[in-house]
Amino acid sequence: MASKNLEVQNLQTDVVVVGGGGAACRAAIEVAERGQNCIMVDKGRPGRSGATPCALWSIQAPFGPRGRDERDSPEQFFEDMVRAGRFIGDQNIVEVVAFTACDRILDMERYGVKFRKYEDGRFYQTPMPGQTYPRSCFMYENGQHMSTVLAKEVSRHKNITVYKDFFVFGLLKNDGVVVGIIGIDMISGQIITINSKSTVIATGGYTSLWGFSDNPPTLTGDSLSMAFRAGAELVDLEFNQYYGTDVIWPPSVKGTVVLYELMIEEFANGEITDKNGVPIIDKPLPIRDEAIKIIFNVIKEGRGTEHSGVWYDTTKSPKGEAAVREVFETMTPKHYHFLIDAAGIDIAKQPIEVAPASHYQCGGIYINEKGQTSLEGLYACGECAGNFQGANRLAGSALCDTQTMGAQAGKYAAEDSKKRDIIPPEKSSIDEHLDMLKNFLSEKKTKTRPIFLKEEILKAMDEYVAPFRSKEGLEKGLSIIEGVRKEVEKIHVPDVGRYNLELREAIETRLAVDAAELTIGAALFRTESRGHHNRIDYPEQDDKNWRCHTIISNDGGKPVYSKRDVIYTRLKPEDVK
Partner 1 sequence: MENIIKAKIYRYNPDRDKEPYFQDYEVPIDRRVTVHEFLNIIHRDIDGTLAFRTYKCYKGSCSLCVVKLNGKVVKSCSTPLNPGEEITIEPAGGGEVIRDLVVDFNAM
Contact segment (CB under 8 A) with partner 1 among 330-338, 400-408, 428-436, 524-532 equals: 330-338
Q: How far is the CB of 343 from partner 1 (least distance, A)?
A: 8
Q: What is the side-by-side strand order in the sheet with 136-138?
A: 58-60, 136-138, 125-126
The verdict on 501 binding partner 1 (CB under 8 A) reads yes
Distances (CA, A) of 80 to 86, 314, 530, 544: 10, 29, 16, 22
Site for partner 1 in 439-458 (CB under 8 A): 449, 451
232: CB partners within 8 A, 6+ apart: 365, 366, 373, 374, 375, 378, 380
What is the C-alpha separation between 311 and 315, in angstroms, rounded? 11
- Specify the 3-state DSSP secondary structure of 145: helix
Element (H, E) at 294: helix 288-298
Chain centroid to CA 296: 22
Comparing CA positions, the residue from 141, 99, 89, 91 lying closest to residue 393 is 89
The verdict on 277 binding partner 1 (CB under 8 A) reads no
What is the C-alpha separation between 178 and 195, in angstroms, rounded? 9
Task: State which of residues 103, 265, 329, 342 lies at the interface with partner 1 (CB under 8 A).
Answer: 342
What is the C-alpha separation between 93 and 103, in angstroms, rounded? 16
Q: How far is the CB of 151 from partner 1 (least distance, A)?
A: 11
Which residue's CB is nearer to partner 1, number 20 or number 170? 20
- Specify the 3-state DSSP secondary structure of 460: helix
Contact segment (CB under 8 A) with partner 1 among 270-278, 342-350, 469-477, 511-519 equals: 342-350
Site for partner 1 in 164-183 (CB under 8 A): 164-165
Alpha helix ranges (H) inside 157-266:
222-230
What is the C-alpha separation between 205 and 273, in angstroms, rounded? 30
The verdict on 252 binding partner 1 (CB under 8 A) reads yes
Q: How far is the CB of 12 from partner 1 (least distance, A)?
A: 22
Task: State which of residues 3, 45, 286, 476 lies at the interface with partner 1 (CB under 8 A).
Answer: 45
Q: How far is the CB of 401 from partner 1 (least distance, A)?
A: 20
Q: How far is the CB of 338 from partner 1 (least distance, A)?
A: 4
What is the C-alpha separation between 550 and 463, in angstroms, rounded? 23
Q: How many residues bind partner 1 (CB under 8 A)?
A: 40
The verdict on 307 binding partner 1 (CB under 8 A) reads no
Distances (CA, A) of 576 to 62, 83, 98, 571, 573: 22, 10, 19, 8, 5
Contact segment (CB under 8 A) with partner 1 among 81-89, 246-254, 388-396, 465-473 equals: 246-254
- What is the CB neighbour count within 10 angstroms for residue 236? 31
The verdict on 356 binding partner 1 (CB under 8 A) reads no
The verdict on 253 binding partner 1 (CB under 8 A) reads yes
The verdict on 496 binding partner 1 (CB under 8 A) reads yes
The verdict on 44 binding partner 1 (CB under 8 A) reads yes
Strands 468-469, 271-273: pairing kind: unpaired
Element (H, E) at 337: helix 333-343
What is the C-alpha separation between 363 and 207, in angstroms, rounded? 11
Which residue's CB is nearer to partner 1, number 155 or number 297? 155
Q: How far is the CB of 373 from partner 1 (least distance, A)?
A: 27
The verdict on 2 binding partner 1 (CB under 8 A) reads no
Contact segment (CB under 8 A) with partner 1 among 46-54, 122-130, 320-328, 543-551 equals: 46-54
Which residue's CB is nearer to partner 1, number 30 or number 508? 508
The verdict on 344 binding partner 1 (CB under 8 A) reads yes
Which residue's CB is nearer to partner 1, number 278 or number 496? 496
- C-alpha angle with apex 438: 490 to 198, nearest 5 degrees? 115
Q: How far is the CB of 527 from partner 1 (least distance, A)?
A: 35
Q: How far is the CB of 192 from partner 1 (least distance, A)?
A: 16
The verdict on 494 binding partner 1 (CB under 8 A) reads yes
512 touches 221 (CB < 8 A)? yes
The verdict on 218 binding partner 1 (CB under 8 A) reads yes
What φ, ψ does residue 468 adopt, rounded to 5°? -105, 120
Q: How far is the CB of 258 from partner 1 (least distance, A)?
A: 10
Task: State which of residues 103, 329, 341, 489 lies at the interface with partner 1 (CB under 8 A).
Answer: 341
501: CB partners within 8 A, 6+ apart: none
What is the C-alpha separation between 198 and 421, in angstroms, rounded? 10
Distances (CA, A) of 169 to 174, 226, 227: 17, 7, 10
How far is the first Cα of the chain from the last one, in angstroms, to the nearest whole number? Answer: 62
Is the bond into 62 cis (omega within 30 degrees of 0)? no
Which residue's CB is nearer to partner 1, number 80 or number 185? 185
Q: How far is the CB of 53 from partner 1 (least distance, A)?
A: 5
The verdict on 54 binding partner 1 (CB under 8 A) reads yes
Site for partner 1 in 105-164 (CB under 8 A): 141, 144, 164
Task: State which of residues 21, 129, 255, 531 lies at the interface with partner 1 (CB under 8 A).
Answer: 255
Contact segment (CB under 8 A) with partner 1 among 152-160, 322-330, 367-375, 497-505 equals: 497-505
Distances (CA, A) of 363 to 55, 204, 275: 19, 11, 34
- C-alpha angle with apex 511: 510 to 512, nearest 5 degrees? 90
Which residue's CB is nearer to partner 1, number 65 or number 217? 217
Task: State which of residues 53, 127, 410, 477 lies at the interface with partner 1 (CB under 8 A).
Answer: 53
The verdict on 386 binding partner 1 (CB under 8 A) reads no
Q: How far is the CB of 508 from partner 1 (least distance, A)?
A: 10
The verdict on 502 binding partner 1 (CB under 8 A) reads yes
Contact segment (CB under 8 A) with partner 1 among 44-52, 101-109, 462-470, 513-521 equals: 44-52
Task: State which of residues 35, 112, 176, 251 lies at the interface with partner 1 (CB under 8 A).
Answer: 251
Task: State which of residues 498, 544, 558, 577 lies at the interface with partner 1 (CB under 8 A).
Answer: 498
Residues that bind partner 1 (CB under 8 A): 44-45, 48-49, 53-54, 141, 144, 164-165, 187, 214, 216-218, 250-253, 255-257, 334-335, 337-338, 341-344, 449, 451, 494, 496-502
